[in-house]
Chain A
Amino acid sequence: MYVYDQYDQTIVDQRVEQYRDQTRRYLAGKVPEAEFRPLRLQNGLYIQRLAPMLRIAVPYGMLSSRQLRKLAVISREFDKGYAHISTRQNVQLNWPRIEEVPDILAELASVQMHAIQTSGNCIRNTTTDQYAGVATDELEDPRPWCEIIRQWSTLHPEFAFLPRKFKIAVCGSSQDRAAIHAHDIGIELLANASGEVGFRILAGGGLGRTPVIGSIVCDWLEKKHLLTYLEAILRVYNLNGRRDNKYKARIKILVKAMGVDAFREAVEQEWALVKDGPTTLTEAEMMRAKSFFTEPAYVAFDDATARAGLAEKCGADPIFGNWVKRNTVDHRVSGYRIVNLSLKATGFAPGDITDTQLELVADLADQYSFGECRTTHQQNMVLADVQMEQLYPLWQQLQKAGLATPNHGYLTDMICCPGGDYCSLANAKSIPVAEAIQARFDDLDYLYDLGPIELNISGCMNACGHHHIGHIGILGVDKKGEEFYQVCLGGSQAKDASIGKILGPSFSQDDMPSVIDKLLSTYLDLREGEEIFLETYRRVGIEPFKERVYEKAD
């Protein structure tokens, strides 16, 4: 993974000192609340319902074991002993004290981490595929490009006070695991007709109040132009994005208002001014970025022998076999598997992880996966490089720690924002809904029979839980001070991305498990062959689901 040199370290250290001084002035009453707000937000600090929340950046989801241990210590010493993995692959602490945040940031800087631009109207953490570099369907590793974007966007002087937040995602594989269609800018590594790999650039995607699928602004861009092109898009947005209404301030509204062709033309005009200028990437810089994401020292295995060995162990211990089937994924290299650690055990808030679990994951990363770990936008973690023959001892330790729930990709592996239990923006709680659904559907055989289903829960229109792109989406709404839940169906975050359609009137919290039950039984009644939920929905439409859920009891 990327390693700081003295330049990166200087920038992060100076940022800590800048924020320490800002906090000191704020606490001394010299900075009004309204002026402190964007300063703390751009250092990751929200003021929440019960306490502040600190969002720590995990650039494109990569963490070293050393960083995991530091996060464990921070969550123990400065918080209540647990942390939360967010849908932007970041780590959130729920109970830090405002006056201690500069010290937390200094601790983070000591392991090459920060909380820069994890909130506020600026360019946020760039996200990518959690299987980057090891996926079997990958054209090219997206992480060097994410790191190049991270450096360019970090403390960018022109784009720190945008109309609204700005999110970029990069995808380098044929299956999109980074939801690039739902981002302000989505970047896809793609070969052109002559086989040269470059970028397709999408803009104007996003969730929130007005969900939109991104539009193609550039069919294919030569790699060296990446940053100048991004700079042109950002300038068009900074100059022209709406600032009169925060609900219409995202770039998706600008792209829609201008029309994608006019938007593209405006970008091309700005681009002409900076194209081939100093921000054009050099061959040396592209090589430097790639040099941090080279292949680790894999052991050579015979594929057939390794698979046969694993199959034997799976046969001997069916519970282990089931976990391998559900939670591990094919690896690019023979004899290795990608392992998903489930943070979706029944009875725990989705995405939460304790200090001791973090330390265990650090040890396991050192022992089995070259000392590295990843966070995912589905709020799980990944050990990307595990030898097949070491899966069994790894699984035994994960099981003991509650990190081996074999539900990866199934109903109970849901995405869920912190919701009204923590977040001051939320209209409704989301964690109790998730827990009620997990408790109702804890029969694994039933889950497997349902097949892969993405269930996403957001506690408000800001859509941190990505409800619009869940196969089933749940949105918390406020009706005269009472919490209700709206359901939408048919969303998808894959390459065939779609926005879910609202089922109908909303439901009370108590009704939610049975509403989900009716949706699922409708699917089971109607599915043909091996259809997954989304495919059945797309074939039959929303009506049969609607009828079942809203039918009057006799």
Chain B
Amino acid sequence: MRKLIKASHVVEDSWQPMDADTANPGRQQILSLDQWLRLADKSGRAVMLEPGQAPAPLFDHLERIPLIAINFPEFTDGRGFSYGRELRERGFAGELRACGHFIRDQMSYLARCGFDAFQLADESLLAEALASLQDFSEHYQAAIDQPLPLFRRRG
């Protein structure tokens, strides 16, 4: 079983990796957006977005989706940061997972954008990477982790 960081702990992944080519993905398998769109019964099914796949088609189903994974094929493509925030801003309460080739030094930003699970491409780095979630204790902007900007909280 693959490992990932979830709620600031290294845990085993209860989901199976995506297989975009299969016609019959299992219930515990993460689906590509195409696979997910084709499903008649979407409840309880997890889906992965790629850069360029805006999350809008998911908006009407957020209550029934347990996991949305956002893939970062290249860590320099920052669209996923906005996708995460858009999903959380519309009330998505399930697991929001970063996967692919993001780097640990992006995790504090990703967490602020609503991500609560991090599946680094290299599993062996997970334990060390936990520290990056603690890089900052204070922030200027409102975001998902802190809905008030600093200027509304300054003592």
Interface residues of A (CB under 8 A from B): 5, 7, 10-11, 14-15, 18, 21-22, 31, 35, 38-39, 121, 151-152, 154-162, 227, 235, 238-239, 243, 273, 277-279, 281-282, 284-285, 288
Contacts and interface: CB of A to CB of B under 8 A. Distances in A.
Contact of B78 (A21, A151, A162, A273): A162
Contact of A238 (B78, B105, B140): B78
Given A160-B81, A238-B81, A155 B140 contact: yes
Residue among B82, B139, B143 with most chain A CB within 10 A:
B82
B118 to A, nearest CB: 14
B129 to A, nearest CB: 11
8 contacts: A10-B138, A18-B105, A18-B136, A155-B136, A157-B139, A158-B109, A161-B78, A243-B77
Contacts of B141: 152, 155-157, 279
Given A238-B81, A282-B152, 6 more contacts: A14-B135, A18-B105, A155-B141, A243-B77, A278-B152, A279-B141
A285 B151 CA distance: 6
A272 B76 CA distance: 28
A158 B149 contact: no
Nearest to B85: A158
B147 interface: yes
Nearest to B54: A239
A157 B131 CA distance: 17
B54 A273 contact: no
Contacts, number: 102
A158 B140 contact: no
B103 interface: yes
B113 interface: yes
Contacts of A14: 135-138
A158 B82 contact: yes
B150 A7 contact: yes
A278 B142 CA distance: 7
A514 B138 CA distance: 57
B54 A11 contact: no
B113 A11 contact: no
Contacts of A39: 105
Nearest to B131: A21
The 9 A-B pairs with the shortest beta carbon distances in the complex, nearest first, are A161-B78, A157-B112, A157-B109, A285-B151, A151-B140, A18-B135, A158-B81, A278-B142, A10-B138
A104 B75 CA distance: 27
Contact of B154 (A7, A31, A277): A7
Contact of B148 (A160, A238, A278): A278
B89 interface: yes
B48 to A, nearest CB: 18
A160 B143 CA distance: 14
Interface in B96-145: 103, 105-106, 108-110, 112-113, 131, 135-143
Interface string B3-44: 000000000000000000000000000000000000000000
A158 B143 contact: yes
B75 to A, nearest CB: 7
A243 B66 CA distance: 30
Contact of B76 (A157, A161, A277): A161
B64 interface: no
Interface string B39-65: 000000000000100100000000000
A285 B142 CA distance: 14
A11 B112 CA distance: 15
Contacts of A235: 82
Contact of B75 (A156, A161, A238, A282): A161
A155 B79 contact: no
A418 to B, nearest CB: 25
Given A11-B140, A154-B140, A22 B105 contact: yes
Query: Which one of A5, A7, A151, A277 has the highest number of Cβ atoms from chain B below 10 Å of its Cβ?
Result: A7
A233 B17 CA distance: 35
Contact of A158 (B54, B113, B131, B154): B113
A7 B75 contact: no
B144 to A, nearest CB: 9
Given A10-B137, A152-B141, A157-B141, A278 B75 contact: no
A7 B85 CA distance: 24
A31 B122 CA distance: 12
Given A160-B78, A161-B75, A161-B76, A273 B89 contact: yes
Contacts of A273: 89
Contacts of B76: 38, 121, 161
A151 B150 contact: yes
Contacts of A155: 109, 136, 139-141
B139 A239 contact: no
Contacts of B147: 278
Nearest to A237: B82
B109 A160 contact: yes
Contacts of B149: 152, 227, 278-279
A157 B113 CA distance: 7
Contacts of B136: 11, 14-15, 18, 155
